Chain A
C-alpha cells in the first residue's frame, strides 16, 4: 500500500463540445494508470497516478452541464487545486470562452490553483488550414497567465496523459504534520468519513 497519497481536486471548464469529458475518459481508462477501471459515483471520477515516490489521486469534477446557463455553484471551484480549461483548436469561439474561464478561475478559485490550458481535437487537423486557433496565441495566453499548455487529441490519446502528469508534478506534496487530527474518524484531509460509523461504542462503559 502506497501510504503517500495526495488527493487533488481537479475541475474541468470549457465550452460545450470541446471534448472535456472525452479527455477525462481517455485519461481514466488509460493503460498508464494504476487502475484500468474508472470509478464513478454520483460525485466525480477518480484516478490514481503513480509519480516517482508518491501517488496522486485525482478527483475529477465535471461541470455536469451547470456552466451552460452560468449556474456553476461556488462549491465547484472550492478547494480545486487544479483545473483543465479546454478549447477546440478548430473553433475560435471556444478559445475566447477559454480566456473567460481562466479569468473566472483567477477570481473564484483558490490562489495556488494550477491551470492547464488544453487545445483539444488535434486529430481534426489534416492540414494547417483546419487549425483556427494558432498555437502561438495559446502559448502567449499561457505565458501571461502562468498556465500549463498542451495540445491534445482525446480521440487518439495524444498528449492526454502528459497533461495530468504535468499537473501532478506541479502539485506541492502534502505535509504530514498531523494537524487537523483530533482522533476522530477522519479521512486524510481532516474531514469525518461518513462512510464509516464508529465502533467506539464500548466507551459508554455500560452494556445495558
Chain B
C-alpha cells in the first residue's frame, strides 16, 4: 500500500450510494447495489464537463479498471481512439485486421507497439466463400484458468452473465516429432500403464507437495534462484518427459530458465483449476477472448454510469489545470486521474514507458475443422512445443491455441491457430514457422495416414501448403492430390509490452509518471499509462494490473469490486459464490455442499455420445 492512511474513496464522498451503518461508519460495508441500478433518467447527449477519471483505451485492463471505478462511485469518461472496443486486446473480423495491419505498417505513424505485421488473406474471402464478419480473431489470445482472480471478478461483477464460456481440457506436447496428450489428472497418472511405478510415485509425491508448496519453504528455498527443472530432478527424481510436461504443458512456462517459485505457482494454478467446474482446467469465452471480456466490463461500467465514446482521441493533458483536450475540440476537467493505454497516447508525448519485451505471433485461419485435436464436446485445444522440439532448435517454447468453429470464432469447417513465442528477433518468426510446419505435417499425417516425413510438406509462397507427392511414392499419389491445407488468413506480427511474459506485474511499472519526472513540453505529463498485453498465455496479468492502477487512483484496493448485488435471481441460490472459496481441497476431497443442480431444473442432462472425433 502506498498511503499509510486511506483517504475516503470517491464513493464515500457520495453518500447517496451508501446506507450508513449504526455508528455512521461507511468503511467496512461493501457496496450494496440497489434494485434497478443503471436504469435511470435519460442521460445527456453531451460528454460531461468534469469527471473523476478519464480512461483512454478500451483494452481489458482499462475496461476492468473502468468498471471497478464506476461501481465504486467514480464518474468515468472512457474513450477509445478506435471505432471498436478492445484496443490491443481486441477481437477482430478479417476486414478489421486488414485495416489494423495497414495502420501498424504505416511508416508515418510512430508504431512502437507493433512491428512487421504481414497479412495474407485468401481470395476466397473477397469472393464471398468465407465472410469476414464470421471470424473473430484475437490480437492477444488468452485462456482463463478456472481458479483465477479474473474469474472471481467476472462472477462478482456479474460480467460473466454477458459472456458464454466453454471448456478446454486438451493440452498436447510436441515431443520427438510427435504430439502427446497431457496426463493431467491424478486419475490419469494412476491409470497410465506406460509410466513405471517409481515414476508414478515420484510424480504423486510432487503433486501432493505442489498444492502447498509455499508452506513447505524448507523444500524449495535452496532452489529459490534456480530453474524449476533442477529442483524437480534433484528433489523429486523426475525424468525429462515428466519435467517437461510439468514445466511446459501444465506450467505453460516459456523456457527452461523459469525459476522454482514462479514455476511452482504456475503448476499449482493448473492443478487447482482442474475440477473446479468440471474435468478441465481452463475456459475461454465464445465469440472471442479478451475482446469480448473488454466489452463486457465496459458494459458493466456503463451500467454503473460511465460514459462511453469510441472514435474519440486524446490530444493533450495539462496537469496544472487538470484538463484533457480531445481531437474534436471538446475538453473535460479531471478531478482525480487520467489513465491511458500507451497506444492511445497523445501526439508529442514524452512519458510512455519503455516496452522492452517482445512477443512474436502467427495467427492462421485454416480450412480444417481440427476436431481430432479437441476433446469430445469441446472446441479448443492447446499445443506446446517445448525447447529444442523444433527443427530450429528453439530455446523458447512455441504455444499454440487452436479454436474451432464451435467457439463461434470462425466458420464451420475452419479453425484458428494462434502461435506465439517470446523468442526475440528474427529467430522468433523462424520458430513460429517451424511449429506451423510441424502442425501441418501432423494434421496431414493423421487425416491421410501419410508416412512420417518432414519434407513431405511444402508451403507455397501464396500460403498454401502442399504435400510433396514425389516423395510419397506412387501409391499415395491419389490421396495426396486431395490433401492440402488451405489458409484463409495468415498474419505475422511482433508486439511489444512492458510486462514480462511470466513475471507478475510489478507496481513500479506504473510509477513512471512521478511529477518530478515530467518532461518539459510533453503533451502527456500527468497521464498514468497502463500496460499492454504480455506473452503470457493466461489472463493473470489483467486483474493484477487493474488492481494496481485502481489503488493508484483511489488510494487503496480494499473496495476493488467490493459489491454485493441485491436480490439474486430467484432460481439460483449460489450466485454470490466466488472462486476464492475453492482451494485444492476441491480437487482432493469430496465436496458435497452443492447438491442442487441448477441446470437440472431447466433441462434434462444427456451425454452427447455420438460425436465423432
- Identify the A interface with B (CB < 8 A): 1, 3, 5, 16-17, 21, 24-25, 35, 37-46, 62, 64-66, 68-71, 73-76, 78, 176, 178-208
Known contacts being A66-B302, A73-B298, is A199 close to B378, with CB within 8 Å?
no
Which chain B residue has the least Cβ–Cβ distance from A6? B602
Once the chains bind, are A185 and B569 in contact (CB under 8 Å)? no
Known contacts being A40-B36, A202-B590, is A5 close to B602, with CB within 8 Å?
yes
Once the chains bind, are A184 and B377 in contact (CB under 8 Å)? yes
Once the chains bind, are A39 and B154 in contact (CB under 8 Å)? no
* Cβ-neighbour of A42 out of B35, B167, B565 (below 8 A): B565
Give A194 to B609 CA distance when docked, in angstroms: 24
Q: Which residues of B contact A73 (CB under 8 A)?
A: 85, 295, 298-299
Say if the beta carbon of B108 comes within 8 Å of chain A: no
Once the chains bind, are A182 and B300 in contact (CB under 8 Å)? no
22 contacts between A and B (CB under 8 A): A38-B36, A39-B568, A41-B569, A42-B71, A42-B303, A43-B300, A44-B161, A62-B303, A65-B43, A65-B308, A66-B308, A181-B605, A185-B277, A185-B597, A191-B286, A192-B166, A196-B597, A198-B276, A198-B277, A199-B594, A206-B588, A207-B588
Once the chains bind, are B601 and A1 in contact (CB under 8 Å)? yes
Say if the beta carbon of B39 comes within 8 Å of chain A: yes
Chain B nearest CB: distance from A107 CB in Å? 10
Which chain A residue has the least Cβ–Cβ distance from B573? A195
Give A200 to B485 CA distance when docked, in angstroms: 40
* Cβ-neighbour of B162 out of A75, A199, A200 (below 8 A): A75
Which chain A residue has the least Cβ–Cβ distance from B169? A184
Say if the beta carbon of B110 comes within 8 Å of chain A: no
User: Which of A183, A198, A202 is most buried by chain B, counting CB atoms within 10 A of its CB?
Assistant: A198
Known contacts being A25-B39, A75-B292, A185-B278, is A197 close to B299, with CB within 8 Å?
no
Say if the beta carbon of B287 comes within 8 Å of chain A: yes
Give A11 to B311 CA distance when docked, in angstroms: 23
Q: Which residues of A contact B304 (CB under 8 A)?
A: 42
Say if the beta carbon of B603 comes within 8 Å of chain A: yes
Chain A nearest CB: distance from B11 CB in Å? 15
Once the chains bind, are B187 and A182 in contact (CB under 8 Å)? no
Q: Which residues of B contact A66 (CB under 8 A)?
A: 298-299, 302, 308
Give A81 to B11 CA distance when docked, in angstroms: 37
Chain A nearest CB: distance from B603 CB in Å? 5
Chain A nearest CB: distance from B313 CB in Å? 13
* Cβ-neighbour of B599 out of A69, A193, A202, A204 (below 8 A): A193
* Cβ-neighbour of B598 out of A16, A42, A193, A203 (below 8 A): A193
Q: Which residues of B contact A202 (CB under 8 A)?
A: 590
Give A182 to B607 CA distance when docked, in angstroms: 5
Which chain B residue has the least Cβ–Cβ distance from A2? B601
Chain B nearest CB: distance from A175 CB in Å? 11
Q: Which residues of A contact B308 (CB under 8 A)?
A: 65-66, 68-69, 71
* Cβ-neighbour of B38 out of A42, A183, A207, A208 (below 8 A): A42
* Cβ-neighbour of A43 out of B162, B165, B275, B279 (below 8 A): B162
Say if the beta carbon of B433 comes within 8 Å of chain A: no
Q: Which residues of B contact A74 (CB under 8 A)?
A: 85, 295
Query: Given A3-B603, A195-B577, A207-B588, 17 other A-B contacts at CB below 8 A?
Result: A16-B42, A16-B45, A24-B39, A39-B569, A42-B33, A76-B299, A78-B287, A176-B603, A178-B604, A185-B599, A191-B165, A196-B577, A196-B598, A197-B594, A198-B278, A199-B590, A204-B186
Chain B nearest CB: distance from A113 CB in Å? 16
Q: Which of B357-365, B530-538, B579-587 is the interface stretch?
A: B579-587
* Cβ-neighbour of B574 out of A65, A195, A205 (below 8 A): A195
Known contacts being A69-B308, A198-B275, is A25 close to B36, with CB within 8 Å?
yes
Q: Which residues of A contact B165 (CB under 8 A)?
A: 191-192, 194
Chain B nearest CB: distance from A155 CB in Å? 15
Known contacts being A3-B601, A71-B310, is A200 close to B295, with CB within 8 Å?
no
